Amino acid sequence: MNPLEDIVVAVKAKVPTLPFAIPDSVRPLDVTMPLSSTTGFANVDPLTNNPITVTNDMTDFGWEYVWHCHLLGHEENDMMRPLVVKVAPDAPQNLTATSPGESVNPPSVALSWVSTSAANATFTIQRATDAAFTTNVTTLPPVLSPTTTFTDTPLPPDTTFYYRVRADNGVGISPCSNTASARTSGWLPLAPTGLGIYSFRVFPGTLFPHWTLPVADGVTAATRNGIYVERSRRAANGVWGPWARVATLAPNATQYSDTGLARRATYRYRVQAFNSDGSSAYSNVAQGTTF
């Protein structure tokens, strides 16, 4: 260049098509100072000119390059400057959705995906009840990378849900990931507790099992359809006979009158709740002897 000659270089950034990913430059605002330091910054808001506190934290500079200019004599200040190209993140990939088996807990779906987004990207998860995402579309709480998993709960039982994920790095929003679906499991009722046995002389040959029902979780699908009562008798040699179901009771039943039993015989009982998804675990076992 001739003395006193100016030159203007016009550059248009273009996202290249490469067989590999280009990592973002995530670094402190000032690499010469420790994180959380406020030293060395102008501490002025460039939009309002009001004082602000700038903290040295990790920042995504996207695709950061070095603009390097040479002079014949020497390199002056500002002849080496960063050049930042910010691009929208790539779409998350390999989204999977998995639902556990029958459970006494509220049904859930576990999500997992793969992403090349920078450490400060935010993932947005959408859920719907159809693959086209036109019915019952819900946006779930955001997930901050590098976390690439999420558990969606509580959910209604025996329902198929569809999911997709996209990333946002503050510059742009990625396309959506692949769509993954899962069908939630059934929600089994909780087991009755505190099973005990009453017997009274005025009621010979009768035992009165009684128990406590756990408090419902407030979700209709998890409520009970009924209570099963099972009984086993101890033989004269001390050996217990097989369990047999002796009653099917209403959902809120907490006791049972077992009549017509042998007198001065020992029986043991256990109870369980059931609904359309299956049966709970058994209660504790309790035994009693008739008069």
User: What pLDDT does 117 receive?
Assistant: 73
Which residues have a Cβ under 8 Å from the Cβ of 197 and sit 6 or more positions away?
207, 208, 209, 210, 269, 286, 287, 288
Q: Shortest CA distance to 168 belongs to which of 235, 110, 223, 123?
A: 123
CATH architecture of 93-183: Sandwich (2.60)
Query: For residue 3, what are its two tokens?
Result: 């003395």
User: What pLDDT does 217 receive?
Assistant: 52
Query: For residue 226, what are its two tokens?
Result: 């009924």
Residues in the chain: 291
What are phi and psi for residue 222, nearest 5 degrees?
-95, 0
Q: Block means of pLDDT (10 residues each) for the chain, length 291 residues?
A: 85 80 84 92 89 90 79 63 81 96 88 83 96 97 94 93 94 93 92 96 97 70 85 96 97 96 97 92 97 96
Q: Are 126 and 140 in contact (CB under 8 A)?
A: yes
| Domain extents in the chain | 12-87, 93-183, 193-289
User: What pLDDT does 194 receive?
Assistant: 97
Q: Shortest CA distance to 31 belongs to which of 58, 50, 6, 51?
A: 58
**HSE toward the beta carbon, residue 31, CA cutoff 13 A:** 5
Note the CATH number of domain 193-289.
2.60.40.10
Query: For residue 271, what are its two tokens?
Result: 């109870």
